[in-house]
Amino acid sequence: MKLLDYVITKTNEYIENMPKSLRKRYGQFFTSKETALFMAGLFVVPSDKHSLKILDAGAGSGILTVALIEKLQTQNQISHIELVCYENDTNIITLLEDNLNWVSNHSNIDVDYEIRTENYITSQVFEYNNWLGANPTPEKFDLIIGNPPYMKIGKDAPEAKAMPDVCYGAPNLYFLFTAMGVFNLKSRLAHGSYNSRF
């Protein structure tokens, strides 16, 4: 079975058993197979790269990450992936873990993955604002893929307060994920010609 088909099947089983009201609380909607393949297809990896550090912020069941791994393994260029998935809905962590475990056992790429259950935005407040106590070398990634939660939040929400430079009034969590993604992306100048048109 193809990697992405496996994850889609498992995700559909999860959707059948998890009430929409609970998923909505986290802005949890899953990307379709077609859209995931389209998004994964947008990445162009420099030809001298054989190892990649990849971030999926708000990973859900891992659909987007796995679409990207599936694309990369058909190209036979990348031999190792260091993957970080943020996901703070405890209901879906077991599924994400099972899916990533299955995929890493069935991929011809060596995939080391880490699931972070922290809030993607607030867990980086020190680094993002360069506050005293921040890690002086914040973590950066070669490729970032994601379908962030679409959710309006209050101007006093912890996520809004964590990113004051991009918040005017009540923001949408979607935008904050995108801005934090830019912060987490390796610089093109420092690392060659990445073309992640996401």
Ligand X SMILES: C[S@@+](CC[C@H](N)C(=O)[O-])C[C@H]1O[C@@H](n2cnc3c(N)ncnc32)[C@H](O)[C@@H]1O
Q: What are the residues binding ligand X (CB under 6 A)?
A: 26-31, 58-60, 63-64, 86-89, 92, 119-121, 147-149
Least distance in Å: CB of 90 to ligand X? Answer: 9
If the CB atoms of residues 70 and 89 are measured against ligand X, the closer one turns out to be 89
Strand pairing category for 195-196 and 43-44 = antiparallel
If the CB atoms of residues 148 and 171 are measured against ligand X, the closer one turns out to be 148
Tell me how far apart the alpha carbons of residues 138 and 21 are, in angstroms, rounded to a whole number. 35
If the CB atoms of residues 79 and 101 are measured against ligand X, the closer one turns out to be 101
If the CB atoms of residues 25 and 50 are measured against ligand X, the closer one turns out to be 25
Tell me how far apart the alpha carbons of residues 167 and 159 are, in angstroms, rounded to a whole number. 10
- Please list the residues that pair with 145 across neighbouring strands: 56
Least distance in Å: CB of 30 to ligand X? Answer: 4
Least distance in Å: CB of 116 to ligand X? Answer: 8
Least distance in Å: CB of 173 to ligand X? Answer: 6
Q: Return the amino acid letter for 88.
A: N
If the CB atoms of residues 27 and 171 are measured against ligand X, the closer one turns out to be 27
Least distance in Å: CB of 120 to ligand X? Answer: 4
